[in-house]
Structure 1
Amino acid sequence: MTEEKQKKKLSKYSFKVPHVFALMFFIILIAVALTYIVPAGEFDRVEDPNTGRTLVVEGTYEKVAQNPVGIIDIPGLIITGIKEASDIILFLFVVGGSFRIITSTGAFDAGIRAVTSKLGNKDILIIPLLLLIFAICGATVGMTIEAVGLVPLLIAFARSMKYDAITGMAIVFMGCFCGFIAGLMNPFTVGVAQQIAGLPTFSGMWLRAIIMVVLIIVSSLYIIRYAKKVKADPTKSLVYDLEQKQRENTETINTPSKLQVKHYLIILTFMAGIGLLIWGVITKHWYLEQMAALFLAMGIIAGIFAGFSSTRIAEEFVEGAKSVTLGALIVGIAMAITVALKEGQIIDSLINGMAGIIMILPDFLKVISIYLFQGVINFFISSGSGQASVTMPIMVPLGELVGITRQTTVLSFHLGDGFTNLIYPTGSTLMAYLATAGIGYDKWVRFIWPLVAILLVIGAVFVVFAHIIQY
């Protein structure tokens, strides 16, 4: 058999991954189908006078009239999802456009060349160092979506070391989430959950510190292994086509070999902007609207320092915004999944049903079940603080009935919630990162699923350990 015939035969039986829009549509169909299968129901909710948060009342679940979502309603769900994600979508367009202006100045390329030339053969050590820095941000101020603006910079840095876009994105994304998941002082998960559980804020930090160290080590080794493989053979990259396209585009750009005065001014502008971003997030509680305005200002100022005309700045911004259109729309479409479940009034039913299953399991399986339960619920409620407000009032008394400490229940919550954020398509943060990086969801899944499996096992070990020592 000739080589050409062999290729045709293989292609005949090979599976082609559907377009990400098609994949999202299939998941929406499943969510719609569930509104016909799962009984509708809801818990009573009350407002906590101390925090103003709306909490469910344990033991108040009641069935309500079925409210299934029709197939003809799906277009409306998608539009609603895009509307609810409009702040994230706007943020992505602004970040994409602004970073296009900055990168087109050549300042990043010249600066990265200067740094990598000094690293020599020790460049691989930069990966765990950066993961540690981002992890500290994730562990203290809960930084995740806030760091999406750094993705283009880290991708450029990774490419300069002959790695690829996945390596660059993974450094930022996994770094932030190693800290966010461990949650030393994460106000959005551990802070809210401990408050609901009646525990001192950020108590039990010693075990979470150990968990963060383990997560950083495991994630660093995983990313380094992949990065070395790509460096040795670029065709091993999961985004080889993207890298080839990027290489063709950059070959026509004349990047200066040495840093010029304008490059120093642009880099200083960027560093000052990131410093202002951190200050604003920590002290002024900035979110997407304020961060988008900051990145827009950074892009315009960088363009002025580069000597660009107003027309050139506008054209670069539009090109950058166009490059994230696909990913930005995916964020909105993914939000339609949650919208379907809410309109069908089945999220509370799913929570109540899973809690009932946990109660009939043997005691030694209950702690693991609570941990896995949070991972499942995270698909439907991607907000960490939102999930805590819904599940903690149910899980805390359930755990105490079978001898699981409140601290262990909180640990099960933020680990179960956290690891699945790395792979679930309903997570707007993941989709925002992929949109900014220009990486397909299917490519990311192929890269991340072994690491997620490893981390889930590690999380289970820590949860069981916590239960054994009555943490």
Structure 2
Amino acid sequence: MPNTLLQFKPKNQSPPQDQEKNVRNINAFVLIFFVIIIAAVLTYIVPAGEYDRVDKDGRTIVVPDSFHLTDSSPVGFFKIFTSIHTGMIQGAGIIFFVLMVGGSFGILKATGALDALILTISKKLANRELLLIPVLMLFFAAGGTLMGMAEETIIYIAIITPLAIALGFDAMVGFAIVSLGANIGFMSAIMNPFNVGVAQSIAELPTFSGIGLRLALLATFYIAGVLFVYRYAKKVKAQPELRFLGNFQKGNTIASDVKLETRHKWVLTVFLLNFVVLITGVLKFGWYITEIAGLFLLFGILIGIIGKLNPNKMADSFMDGAKEVIGGALIIGFAQAILVVFQDGKLMDSVLYYASSLLSQLSPALNAVGMFFVQLFLNFLVPSGSGQAALTMPIMAPLSDLVGVTRQTAVLAFQLGDGITNSIFPTAGVLIAGLAIAGIPFTKWFKWVLPFIFIEIGISVVFLLIAQAIHYGPF
């Protein structure tokens, strides 16, 4: 495959003096495997317990005050390894979604159309590159806050990351524009049906009520996010040697003589049509990853035909694209194994019970913040917005009544705790898959984004205290 900007798998050509530093960059697979071991050890320490569950409006939710201890169910040595296979099965939907989208982008890349488009855009944006950051982050924040954009970001990462590199930034900037932008919108959740919509339904609040404070929250997060990314982008644009990724991106270049030909324009027109169909399908017909994956495969084949690729070349390009994201796809299954261990050891409900019991001991002023940190931790185990809502809100909603916190504030604590750590926890499958596509090691991203995570936590605490002070409602 020719050496193009879109070869995301990085060629680490760091000088010898940097190799010692690279040793400290723990592979994400190693990190998650150690977490699986720790989770297994906890099944021998933490008492096993369960809540009763009922079906309500098509969702399985826990019954408050139904927690009871059960027989211990420790996870044995061999089950540590079988849990990974089980995790692969449970995460199969998103795993194969990533592979199919990656393969379809492989076909698109083989046509040369995306390279030509990126070069054309980079020339037209000469000396105005930084303006792209607030514009694109606003677009992704809108997608996150209105339609819960999450898995869809994987598609955009494959486009925006190489564009950022072509504009003189690095992969970190491109990935952050998409990932942080969408997540800022997702956790602010003005009208996100997948987190605040589900949580308010369980808490018996009017759908999407309390929108005013969430609008202010979105604006605050957006400004903070843009300033964080803009500041770094401006620095590395002026001094490339300050790039957080160092020499990690050598080889991600594009030939300066690539021209946007007529066939490229047709390919890109069909690719744009793909996004129109995608948005229509998601908003009108409730499409999810199965339909989106099928759509990208269909349009990948159409693009290959228009780009004059023969069937064998299309198949080879599809496999090349899938190879580039195989690491991110596999690690989704590894991360899912952590949840498998907690479920098999019957620890999930125990963790929720002891956390909620601790909250009941706090003063009313601190309860909202305490709920936030509980949700923050639980998101490591349940990185699904609707899944975490179904698990926690049946407990948190009545608990909030008892400790002097409005239910709307409890929902706010949930959406913030659920959202922030989607940008940093290795159990967040979309994050890991996106990093694989962008060619960014998880540990490097973790170090880079950690200061912003603390900023987001600080903003969240302030807004939760405001919500508590104004009795954020209607109730």
Coarse TM-score class (shorter-chain normalised): over 0.9
1:117 CA drift (Å): 2.5
Cα-Cα RMSD: 1.8
Supply the distance in 1 between the matched residues of 2:461 and 2:82 (Cα, whole angstroms): 39
Q: 1:12 and 1:246, CA in 2 relative to 1: closer, same or farther beyond 3 A?
A: closer
- When the two structures are aligned, how many residues end up with a matched partner? 457
User: Which residues in structure 2 correspond to 1:229-240 (within 5 Å)?
Assistant: 229-240=235-246
Q: After superposition, what is the alpha-carbon deviation per residue over 1:53-106, rounded to whole angstroms, capped at 9, x for unaligned?
A: 111111110000000001211110001111111111111111111112212322
1:276 CA drift (Å): 0.6
Q: Report the TM-score when normalising by structure 1.
A: 0.93
Q: Which residue of 1 aligns with 2:50?
A: 42
SS of 2:414's partner is helix
Supply the distance in 1 between the matched residues of 2:407 and 2:296 (Cα, whole angstroms): 41
Supply the distance in 2 between the matched residues of 1:183 and 1:66 (Cα, whole angstroms): 39
Q: Which residue of 2 aligns with 1:75?
A: 81
1:434 CA drift (Å): 1.5
Q: 1:221 and 1:101, CA in 2 relative to 1: closer, same or farther beyond 3 A?
A: same
Do 1:327 and 1:438's aligned partners in 2 also have CA atoms closer than 8 Å?
no
Structure 1 window deviating more from structure 2 (233-242 vs 27-36): it is: 233-242
Do 1:88 and 1:432's aligned partners in 2 also have CA atoms closer than 8 Å?
no
Q: 2:114 aligns with which of 105, 108, 128?
A: 108
Aligned AA (2:116)? A
User: Which residues in structure 2 correspond to 1:175-254 (within 5 Å)?
Assistant: 175-247=181-253, 250=254
Q: Which residue of 2 aligns with 1:3?
A: none
Aligned AA (2:310)? S
Q: Which residue of 2 aligns with 1:88?
A: 94
SS of 2:152's partner is helix
Structure 1 window deviating more from structure 2 (11-20 vs 259-268): it is: 11-20
Supply the distance in 1 between the matched residues of 2:315 and 2:204 (Cα, whole angstroms): 52
1:287 CA drift (Å): 1.2
User: Which residues in structure 2 correspond to 1:1-400 (within 5 Å)?
Assistant: 16-48=24-56, 51-247=57-253, 250=254, 255-257=257-259, 259-400=260-401
Q: 1:191 and 1:18, CA in 2 relative to 1: closer, same or farther beyond 3 A?
A: same
1:15 CA drift (Å): 6.5
Do 1:101 and 1:317's aligned partners in 2 also have CA atoms closer than 8 Å?
yes
Q: 1:13 and 1:382, CA in 2 relative to 1: closer, same or farther beyond 3 A?
A: closer
Supply the distance in 2 between the matched residues of 1:145 and 1:462 (Cα, whole angstroms): 27
SS of 2:440's partner is coil
Q: Which residue of 1 aligns with 2:450?
A: 449
Q: After superposition, what is the alpha-carbon deviation per residue over 1:402-441, rounded to whole angstroms, capped at 9, x for unaligned?
A: 2211111111110111101111111112122122222211
Supply the distance in 2 between the matched residues of 1:271 and 1:377 (Cα, whole angstroms): 38
Do 2:73 and 2:345's aligned partners in 1 also have CA atoms closer than 8 Å?
yes
Do 1:92 and 1:436's aligned partners in 2 also have CA atoms closer than 8 Å?
no
Q: After superposition, what is the alpha-carbon deviation per residue over 1:316-374, rounded to whole angstroms, capped at 9, x for unaligned?
A: 11111111111111111111001000000010000000111111123322111011111
Supply the distance in 1 between the matched residues of 2:327 and 2:241 (Cα, whole angstroms): 25
Aligned AA (1:99)? F
User: Which residues in structure 2 correspond to 1:398-417 (within 5 Å)?
Assistant: 398-417=399-418
**Which ranges of structure 2 fall in alignment gaps of 5 or more residues?**
1-15
Q: After superposition, what is the alpha-carbon deviation per residue over 1:196-242, rounded to whole angstroms, capped at 9, x for unaligned?
A: 11110000101111111111111111111121222223332233344
Supply the distance in 2 between the matched residues of 1:114 and 1:145 (Cα, whole angstroms): 28
Aligned AA (1:422)? S
Q: 1:26 and 1:97, CA in 2 relative to 1: closer, same or farther beyond 3 A?
A: same
Aligned AA (2:429)? S
Supply the distance in 1 between the matched residues of 2:240 and 2:301 (Cα, whole angstroms): 35
Supply the distance in 2 between the matched residues of 1:88 and 1:458 (Cα, whole angstroms): 31
Do 2:274 and 2:295's aligned partners in 1 also have CA atoms closer than 8 Å?
yes
**Which ranges of structure 1 fall in alignment gaps of 5 or more residues?**
1-6
1:293 CA drift (Å): 1.2
